[in-house]
Amino acid sequence: MALDFVAGCMGGAAGVLVGHPFDTVKMRGLYKGIGSPMMGLTFINAIVFGVQGNAMRMLGVDTPVHQFLAGAAAGLIQCVICCPMELAKTRMQMQGTGEKSASRRMYRNSLDCLIRIHRKEGVRGINRGMVTTVIRETPGFGVYFLTYDTLTRALGCDADDGYIIPKLLLAGGMSGMASWISTYPVDVIKSRLQADGVGGANRYDGIMDCVRQSWRREGWRAFTRGLTSTLLRAFPVNATTFATVTLFLMYMREDDEGVKDCEAMRPSLQHSSL
């Protein structure tokens, strides 16, 4: 099981290295401020891979349904870390907006942001958006792992195949895109709720009120705004993450288990898979 967590850490770190420039394209340095997301996402990926792999071992038989359920369990558990982290990211990005001065910076970093929110709003404050995060992450990670498992089977890759890395990258990238497409409208609502009240009065009374107001003002496009850029980022990030995890586990298990095909390499089958 320790291999799952280590593989998740490595995959998460690789994903951050690839994805961070997309988040900082307007900044002078492509890797400026990479420390915080590197620590956060590396830890989250360790949890996801560890939980998913352990869930697959508990379920015993590798089936598409079990792949989905194990992924969903991993997505649910990591919400405890993911929700506060995304709240801090949203609040940091919203600094200086609304009714307050655009030049004012309330938070020094993500940790300072969460501390200040906790002092003002308590535990409930730092978990703002938790319900929508659970609604997004639970089925999202189920789709994520299920898609990767289905694609790696369909591609019929082999450890000695000269195209093994491109195949893993393709399967991982498509899995990330499938996951985002399946839950993106929920992500829009989550982000709006977490940003609500920054620099002014609260606009929304809850999830359904946010949905109604968004639909009334913008129509169906409200729930797909930014999807294209998200998918463009999702493919390389998740392609790198999945390929790193799978190749790492393949290498670590090769001596003990004689791994020779893609089915044995899939992290979820014996240990994990994100």
Q: How much is the pLDDT for 271?
A: 35
Q: How much is the pLDDT for 269?
A: 36
- Write down the H helix ranges in 100-218: 110-126, 130-155, 164-195, 207-218
Q: Please report, rounded to a whole number, the percentage of residues in the chain having pLDDT higher than 70.
A: 80
The pLDDT confidence band at residue 168, using thresholds 50, 70 and 90, is: very high
User: Which of 77-81, 158-162, 193-197 has the least mean pLDDT?
Assistant: 158-162
CA distances for 27 relative to 31, 125, 221, angstroms: 9, 30, 28
- Asked if residue 175 belongs to a domain, the reply is yes
Q: How much is the pLDDT for 237?
A: 93
Q: Is the pLDDT of residue 64 over 80?
A: yes
Q: Is the pLDDT of residue 143 over 70?
A: yes
The torsion defined by the Cα of 153, 158, 161 and 165, in degrees rounded to 10, comes to: 60
- Asked if residue 226 belongs to a domain, the reply is yes
Average pLDDT value over all residues in the chain: 83
Q: How much is the pLDDT for 80?
A: 93
Return the higher-pLDDT residue of 161 and 177: 177
- Asked if residue 268 belongs to a domain, the reply is no
Q: Is the pLDDT of residue 206 over 50?
A: yes
CATH number of the domain to which 4 belongs: 1.50.40.10
Mean pLDDT of 171-178: 96
- Asked if residue 84 belongs to a domain, the reply is yes
Q: Is the pLDDT of residue 178 over 70?
A: yes
- Asked if residue 267 belongs to a domain, the reply is no
Mean pLDDT of 122-130: 92
Name 211's Cβ contacts closer than 8 Å, sequence gap at least 6.
Answer: 189
Q: How much is the pLDDT for 93?
A: 76
User: Which of 101-110, 111-120, 183-192, 243-252 has the least mean pLDDT?
Assistant: 101-110
The candidate with the shortest Cα–Cα distance to 59, out of 71, 46, 75, 45, is 71
Q: Domain range for residue 67?
A: 1-21+34-93+109-195+205-257
- Asked if residue 150 belongs to a domain, the reply is yes
Q: How much is the pLDDT for 89?
A: 83
User: Which of 90-99, 154-163, 164-173, 256-265 has the least mean pLDDT?
Assistant: 256-265
CA distances for 10 relative to 24, 130, 150, 243, angstroms: 22, 27, 23, 10
Q: Is the pLDDT of residue 25 over 70?
A: no
- Asked if residue 271 belongs to a domain, the reply is no
Q: How much is the pLDDT for 220?
A: 93
What one-letter code names the amino acid at 261? D
Structural domain count of the chain: 1
- Asked if residue 122 belongs to a domain, the reply is yes
d(Cα 185, Cα 220) in Å, to the nearest integer? 9
Mean pLDDT of 204-220: 94
What one-letter code names the amino acid at 125? G
Return the higher-pLDDT residue of 209 and 259: 209
The pLDDT confidence band at residue 264, using thresholds 50, 70 and 90, is: very low
